Structure 1
Amino acid sequence: MTILLNNHGYDNESWRQEFCLQLPQFPVKVFGQQPIDPEEVVYAMVWNHPPGDLQRYPKLKAIFSLGAGAEHFVSDPTLPDVPVVLLADPAVARDMAAHVLYWVLTFHRRYGDYRAQQQGRVWHRKPIVPTDRFRAGVVGLGRIGTEVARRLAGFGYAVSGWDASDRELEGVECHSGLGALDGFLAQNDVIINALPLSEKTRHFLGAGVFVSMRSGSFFINISRGAVVHDEALLEALDNGHLAGAALDAFAEEPLPANHRYWSHPNVFVTPHMSGATFPSSAVAVISNNVRRFEKGLEVYPLFNREAGY
């Protein structure tokens, strides 16, 4: 019984060592680096695995994602009919919430303005509203969005959330459905995108969404770049309707050198680092699910093929 490992584009060796440590009963073979007998593979631990390859393993029991998101599964129409388990690493959610908190603080407390003032040796305090009057809205209340909303609320911000379906979160004012979206957007000083990427959410945040946001508000993206319509966001920034944007995910990565985001004075670019996945914590989560699966117990969270996430 062998584990197939392919963390495409990332460090396979660290992951291999962690799997050997935490699941010592399963030999680990790295895709493309070692000979693999398809008859021996029972679990596939993959990220951006070549479409069609997973069909080659007749005894495959389950597929486990090595990162957040599921678009690489959606793009593989030949995905075997076995459970696909997404990665819900609490450490990733915590770090993404910390990333969001940094930018909410930056926008609320106007730290960017103070940095600019420092260059000119200007001593001038900017007016701000109290923390509990600065409103933060989270779009998408899945695992990551829920953690972000809870952390912001715990820090004292006035937090609301929007999702396609009904949600209830203590300390968070929840909205649902397209009919409630415009009102939700208009009431917040900063909007955080935590929507998963699917065919329904591709370019979901377009011109209509940015126009509905409060004038002078800010935008933070920690999800997927393709959820955002880039030209619509740039237009809202160019005409001053939005005051700034902190972007950590892009439709094309790495972000092309000639993209306007790099040079826009009100855009802050980070290289998709808000929630780094560490092998030690991620493999602990995956290994626990493997042990549960071996015992016939429920594993979580399962990829919903119909919804695409």
Structure 2
Amino acid sequence: MTFLYKADPGRGRQWARLFAEKAPDIPFRLWPDAGDPSSVRYLAAWQPPDDPVRAFPNLEVVFSVGAGIDQFDLSRVPEHVAVVRMIEPGIIEGMVEYVTQAVLTIHRDLFDYALQQQQRVWHERPPRAAATRRIGVLGLGMLGTTVLERLRLFNFPCAGWSRSPRALDGIECYVGSETLDTFLARTDILISLLPLTPETRGLLDRQLFAKLPQGASFVSVGRGPQVNQQDLLDALDSGPLHSAILDVTDPEPLPASHPLWTHPRVRITPHIASTTRPDTAVDVVLDNLRRHREGLPMLGLIDRKLGY
């Protein structure tokens, strides 16, 4: 019943230490030292081997070490093998911190003050009450829901949009493509936390940005291929967008010559908004192993039809 880890080796060594402390009865191995392939029942990976079941014929569960599974080729993972995305406190806390910082950067006019600083201009801008700055989150999974709950505490009017119906206390919930335009029209800071699926690839384009109010801003923390980057630049230069904070791009990293790097109203970070913490991740994985053994539903088990 071997557990095999195939991702960042440094973090893998931390996982190995934590498994030894908390689950010494479970054999733990680090890729590429898989030991007997037939004994591997569980695989934690950023990207599994090309043909995981051929490599490990008795594989039962594949765990993603990240919150998404779009980097997986699910066609190579048979239906009888469960695929579980990572839902753990470290990922959630990191995303809440990042998005809160991004929203407050925009809300407190720090883009404008940065430009003033470059020009050595000391000029106070009129403050705007949080209650007049409307937040909208695309994607109401665990991350989107928690982000909205935190931003509510600042008195921002908060709304979320999702494919499936949701009901959240104190948050306007929009569902389905027929409500998307209405959701966008009431959103001053748009935050994308959507999973990457065929439906969301390229969704954030010229037409979508045009439906935001003049002076709106954009925070991208989902996946880079969801954004048409030329349309984003056009929306910043001649459309409704005032500023954008991007933690994801396509490709990653962007080419050195890409204009997003030097745009005065764009801030780019290298996909660091939220990362898995080994200590909390191992606790979640061990709980899921217990659930799997007891025939209970695992936390983060994906729906293959939806792709997340």
Instruction: Please confirm whether the aligned pair reaches a TM-score higher than 0.5, indicating the same fold.
Output: yes
1:55 aligns with 2:54: yes
Distance, in Å, in 2 between the alignment partners of 1:304 and 1:244 is 35
CA contact (8 A) 2:151 2:158 kept: yes
CA contact (8 A) 1:160 1:172 kept: yes
Other-structure match for 1:12: 12
Alignment of 1:86-105 (within 5 A): 86-105=85-104
Alignment of 1:273-284 (within 5 A): 273-284=272-283
1:265-294 Cα deviation digits (max 9, x unpaired):
111000001112111111111111112212
Deviation of 1:116 after TM superposition, in Å, equals 3.4
Deviates most, 222-231 or 292-301: 292-301
Other-structure match for 2:187: 188
Alignment of 1:1-309 (within 5 A): 1-7=1-7, 11-32=11-32, 34-73=33-72, 75-80=73-78, 81-309=80-308
| Alignment gaps of 5+ in structure 2 | none
Distance, in Å, in 2 between the alignment partners of 1:10 and 1:167 is 39
SS in 2 for 1:72: coil
Distance, in Å, in 1 between the alignment partners of 2:46 and 2:263 is 32
CA contact (8 A) 1:55 1:78 kept: no
| TM-score, structure 2 normalization | 0.94
1:25-51 Cα deviation digits (max 9, x unpaired):
11111122x252111111111111222
Amino acid at match of 1:159: C
1:181-205 Cα deviation digits (max 9, x unpaired):
1121111111000100011111111
Distance, in Å, in 2 between the alignment partners of 1:165 and 1:148 is 18
Task: Describe the shift of the 1:10–1:236 C-alpha distance in structure 2 as closer, same or farther (beyond 3 A).
Answer: farther
CA contact (8 A) 2:4 2:34 kept: no
Deviates most, 210-219 or 111-120: 111-120
1:202-259 Cα deviation digits (max 9, x unpaired):
1111111101011111000111011111111111112142101000011211222222
| Alignment gaps of 5+ in structure 1 | none
Distance, in Å, in 2 between the alignment partners of 1:265 and 1:119 is 11
Distance, in Å, in 2 between the alignment partners of 1:9 and 1:16 is 10
Deviation of 1:55 after TM superposition, in Å, equals 3.0
Distance, in Å, in 2 between the alignment partners of 1:31 and 1:140 is 33
Distance, in Å, in 2 between the alignment partners of 1:233 and 1:188 is 16
SS in 2 for 1:245: strand
Distance, in Å, in 2 between the alignment partners of 1:245 and 1:35 is 43
Task: Describe the shift of the 1:177–1:9 C-alpha distance in structure 2 as closer, same or farther (beyond 3 A).
Answer: farther
Deviation of 1:9 after TM superposition, in Å, equals 7.4
Distance, in Å, in 2 between the alignment partners of 1:105 and 1:128 is 12
Distance, in Å, in 1 between the alignment partners of 2:82 and 2:276 is 22
1:96-136 Cα deviation digits (max 9, x unpaired):
11111111111111123223334455332211321111111
Distance, in Å, in 2 between the alignment partners of 1:8 and 1:72 is 15
Q: How many residues align?
A: 307
Amino acid at match of 1:43: Y
| TM-score, structure 1 normalization | 0.94
CA contact (8 A) 1:51 1:76 kept: no
Deviation of 1:8 after TM superposition, in Å, equals 5.0
1:132-179 Cα deviation digits (max 9, x unpaired):
111110011111111111111122111111112211111111111111
Distance, in Å, in 1 between the alignment partners of 2:34 and 2:141 is 39
Distance, in Å, in 1 between the alignment partners of 2:19 and 2:120 is 53
Distance, in Å, in 2 between the alignment partners of 1:236 and 1:36 is 53
Amino acid at match of 2:278: P
Distance, in Å, in 2 between the alignment partners of 1:268 and 1:140 is 22
CA contact (8 A) 1:8 1:48 kept: no
CA contact (8 A) 1:44 1:60 kept: yes
CA contact (8 A) 2:135 2:156 kept: yes
Give % identity.
39
Deviates most, 286-295 or 51-60: 51-60
Distance, in Å, in 2 between the alignment partners of 1:244 and 1:129 is 16
Q: CA RMSD in A?
A: 1.7
Distance, in Å, in 2 between the alignment partners of 1:279 and 1:271 is 20
Distance, in Å, in 2 between the alignment partners of 1:163 and 1:72 is 22
SS in 1 for 2:76: coil
